[in-house]
Structures are given as C-alpha cells and as structure tokens.
Chains A and B, each alone.
Chain A
Amino acid sequence: MTTERPKVIEVKHLVKKFGNFVANDNLTFDVKQGEIFGFLGANGAGKTTAIKILCGLQSPTSGEIKVAGFDVYRQTNLIKRNIGYMSQKFSLYEDLSVSQNFEFYGGIYGLSRKQIKERTSYFLEKLELTNEANKILKEIPLGWKQKLAFSVAILHHPKIVFLDEPTGGVDPVTRRQFWEMIYEAANEGITIFVTTHYMDEAEYCERVSIMVDGRIEALDTPAMLKQQYGASSMNEVFLRLARAQSAEQ
C-alpha cells in the first residue's frame, strides 16, 4: 500500500560530526508522501540534529539528502519554502496576538492577504479559538499554544511538517486532539515527520524509526516492530533497544 507513493525525504548515509562526536552515524531512510513517520530515540540519540539538517538549519558532514526533492547542501531556501517546522521549545511570538502570529508567518511564506485571512479563520474555527484571536499568546494555556504552533507550521500548506516533540508537557486530552490534527493534516497530503517520547503516540505512526546513539537501530511499522522484538507494545520495543544499548556499555 505504501509502495506507490513518491518519496518526499530521501536520506542516504547521513553523517554529522561535531569534532570527534558523531551525532548522526550513517543514517539511511526514506519518508513517503502523506506518511506519518515517527522518529524515536532516547534523549541525546541525535534526533534533533537530524531534524535540523533536514530543515536546512545545519549542514551534514556527509551523505546524500533530499527533502521535498531538493538538495540540503545547495537548495536550502527551496526546502524551507516547502516545509513547516515546530520546535521543541515554543517559538511563536508571545507578545503578539494569535491572529498577528498567523499574519506574520503567513506573510513571510508569501501568502496573499486574502489567503492569510481565510487560513487564519479556518484554523481558529477548528481550534475553537475565534474569540481569542486578539489575545496575546502569553495569556493562552500551553495546550492551546501547541495546537496554534502546529497550525502556524502548516499554514502555508507545506509538503512536509517536522514536529520536534510537539506534545511535551501537554495533558492527555490535548495530546489526543493534537494527534487528530496530525491525522487531518496527513489526510490533506502533508507528510508528518514527528519525534516523541510518548510510546502510545508511536503506535499512531505509520512507520517508526528508533535511534540509539546516533544510529537507526530499527525501522518499520509498529506492528512489524512488535512482532520482530516479540513485544506487546512499542514501549517494550523501545526499552529492549535502549537496554541492549546500555548492556553493551
């Protein structure tokens, strides 16, 4: 079922070194259009570095990497046009209102005034935040802010959206709603590249890769991974891989 969709992220032998430290050790994987790709790993496994490279924020030491069909060495600006990004740390402007944040990001992605208006009211209605449009972000609870940040990240209809631990510190109900938004976006054809520490969220992904110490140790659908490791949940799969690692050390 996944074979016919085109690849939107192609990574071959990605290596990123910081001095002697190897943050990404020979990563090779593909992500297909409209896929929800879970990018798992313990803290410090090298996930954020890989995401930054895919977003054009850092350049790799070596490897062949294409994002949305563009080369990460030479075409970072074209990549940036076609992706959305939501960082670990909340990074919208807290001193601007909800609609001003939408307007600013819509504007710099080159949407027209009309498009900005339409997209803004679309998202505000969906989030049931229409009445809060003129509130400044400082006054809005974290769960809503995370949903807003996601909306801003896909405001310009990117091909791919990168979510770096988008649900950290968010309550279970809001997490559920957040994942509903992710599914909706995926249905619209937006590819979702997401990192998380919540293993129940890993179950929602179409395919999952698990990074340990800079390398990808496992990559498959959650069902296949559970079968392969004889585990009943993704949590078990993750712990097995992470424990194997600490036993080695």
Chain B
Amino acid sequence: MKTILYILQKEFRQIFREKAMLVIILVIPMVQLLILSFTATFEIKNTNISILDHDHSVESRNLINKFSGSPFFTISSFYDSYDKGVEALKSGKTHQLLIIQPHFEKDLQRDGKGKVMIITDAINGSAASIMSAYAHSILFDFNKQILIEHYPNLSLSDPIQITVSNWYNPRLNYITYMVPGILVLLVTIIGMFLSGMNVVKEKELGTIEQINVTPIKKYQFIIGKLLPFWIIAMFEFSFGLFLARFVFGVPMLGSLALQLGTVSVYLVVVLSFGLFVSTITETMQQAMFISWFFMVIFILMSGLFTPVESMPDWAQTVNKLNPISYFIQINRMIMLKGSVFSDFTRQFYSLVVYAVLMLSLSVWRYRKVA
C-alpha cells in the first residue's frame, strides 16, 4: 500500500511539473466540449434555395412566398435559365432549386394540376433528405391551401388524427442529445492517450529499467499508473457535467451518484485499454497510432453520430466490443431518461467484464515485458 502511495506521489509530481501538459489535460477537452456541442448538429436550419420561375404568375409568387416565409429556407437567387440554376448548384452557391414550370397557374386553374420540380444537392445524403422533407412539407401546406380555396365545400378533416409527442427530448434539441455523448468521447480520448503514453514514455526514456529491478509488484505498478489518470478523468467528467447542466441546460434526470458510479467503471476500461497499448508498443509514436486506430473505429461506431441500430448486422456484432458505445447509451439513458440501474444492467455488466479483461491483459503483458 505504501509503495502505491509513493508511485502516486511521483506520478502526480510529474504531471503537475509539466504545465503544458496540465493545460492539455484540463482546458482542451472543455474547449472541445463547448465547440463540438454547438456545432455537431444535424439540424438544417438554413437551406439556400434558388428559384427558377418560368411562370411569373400570382400562384407562383404565392408558392415562392411560402418558401421565403419559412425559417428553414433562404432564397439565395432567382434565375431565368435552367443552366444558370445548375451552375449555382454545382458551385455550391445554392443547395436546392425550385423550378416552376411555365403555365403553372393556368394548368392549376384549368386542370387542377400544376407542376413544380425540386432539385437537391445530395452530396450529403442525410442533409439532402432533410432538405427535401422540408420542401415537401411546404408544398404539402401549399396544396392544402389551394384545395381550401378552390373547393371550399370539400371536407378536409383526416379520418385518423395523429398526435405526435417526443419523449425524453421534447423539443428534439440536438444539444441535449449530443452533449452527453461528446462528454463521454472527451474523457475517453484523454484517458486512453494519457495512460497509453505514460508507460511507453518510461520505456523510451529507460526509466522503466530502474523500476523493473525494484521489488515493486506488477499490480502495484499498474494501480500506481492508472489511479492518477482515473482521478483526472473523473474530475474532468464531473466538470463536463457541470458545463452540460449550467451552460447547455441539458436536463439531468437520473441520479448523479449512479452516473459517477458507472463512469468510474467505464474509466477503468478506457485506462487499462491505453495501458495495454503501451505494454505492446516500444515508442510513443507506435502507441499513438495504435490508440488512434482503435479510437477512430470506436468513435465512429459508437452511436454518437449515427444510430447503432441502422448499422449492418456484422457492425452491430463488432460493436459489442466497443466500450464507448455502451457508455454513451448508459450516459444518455441516465441523463435524459432518468433511467435507473435495472434499465441498463446488460450494458453495465458488459463494461465490468471488459474492465476486468483489459486490466488482467495489461498486467499480464506488463509482466512479460519486465
């Protein structure tokens, strides 16, 4: 026990000696949290739409007004030729083209059928489908309005009344959804890199050789190496929660103790993963690349940006090995749903198994290296 305290004292002294490192550890993740949370959003608040009005009639103007009145659209230009419109789409000056055919109004009044066309820049598929959906709903409204004007006697009430209510995130606020996930990401990156770089740094400098001839036991060494970063990451997570609550106004419905309890297990997984990487590498550069390899896969598959459920089956199976995915689920459940322990026992025990496994692996590997 005393030995561990001496290792801890040494580690903290080294961490606090390096002022630049302290800034990296404590300030950068918070800046990232602030920036990412405001920017990592799939909401399309502003679509630049350009208009090709070949009709120039009252009805076509009514339709255009519908778009200009919507908060989701900004009319960027009016063009008189199709080619110019396509040119604008190509150069990225506009995201969508609304093309109103000649005789739109006349057709509408005579045949009850008018034609418009919408072309969407679909390089980003998900953004494109959102923009199309917005345009659709405007056209749907416009259609309804025409029906009311032209056939005032027609009963327009739908046979089935739909009431949609969004639970757990009633305003579909992206910040509410993203912040708990991004917070997990940041403590993961910090934890994995710090613990991953630490042992390998001692290898590079040769100081580990001096340690290896001392009677330090493997478990003492591993605990002494993990605990300082565990404490730092716990502190960081708590501070991030504070920002989430008071800067972003993310609701915290679940128990704070439960949340800190689960993150404490999760951090063991992350830190021992980093430690394991540093036992199988010889230089900080190698450790860096291997850590990044796993981090990028874990992050992209974590369900932070895209739902895990829509991934192919094999990916969902692979994802069973992804600790970030488990903890993002748990963290969102506790914060946004107020879930209790029995709601996520499966995820939690998966993390426990993971922690035990990674810890034993890194102790075992360290023994071989020594």
Contacts and interface: CB of A to CB of B under 8 A. Distances in A.
Contacts of B205: 91, 94
A85 B370 CA distance: 15
Contacts of B215: 77, 80-81, 108-110
Contact of A93 (B2, B207, B216, B217): B207
B39 interface: no
Given A96-B13, A100-B10, A107-B6, A55 B207 contact: no
A229 B13 CA distance: 54
B53 to A, nearest CB: 70
Interface string B346-363: 000000000000000000
Interface residues of B, number: 24
A56 interface: yes
A104 B123 CA distance: 59
A148 interface: no
B3 A95 contact: no
B14 A96 contact: yes
B6 A91 contact: no
A77 B217 contact: yes
Nearest to A104: B10
Contact of B14 (A55, A85, A95, A105): A95
B18 interface: yes
A91 B216 contact: no
Interface string B247-261: 000000000000000
A92 B10 CA distance: 12
Interface residues of A, number: 27
B18 A95 contact: yes
B343 interface: no
B212 interface: yes
B214 A55 contact: no
Interface string B190-217: 0000000000000001111110111111
Contacts of A56: 213
Contacts of A57: 209, 212-213, 370
Contact of A110 (B3, B9, B18, B207): B3
A95 B17 contact: yes
A83 interface: yes
Interface string A102-131: 011101111000000000000000000000
B175 interface: no
A103 B8 CA distance: 12
A105 B17 CA distance: 19
A90 B209 CA distance: 10
Nearest to A164: B209
Nearest to B207: A91
Interface of A: 55-57, 77, 80-81, 83-85, 87, 89-96, 100, 103-105, 107-110, 136
Shortest 6 CB-CB contacts between residues of A and residues of B: A107-B6, A85-B213, A91-B210, A89-B206, A80-B215, A81-B215
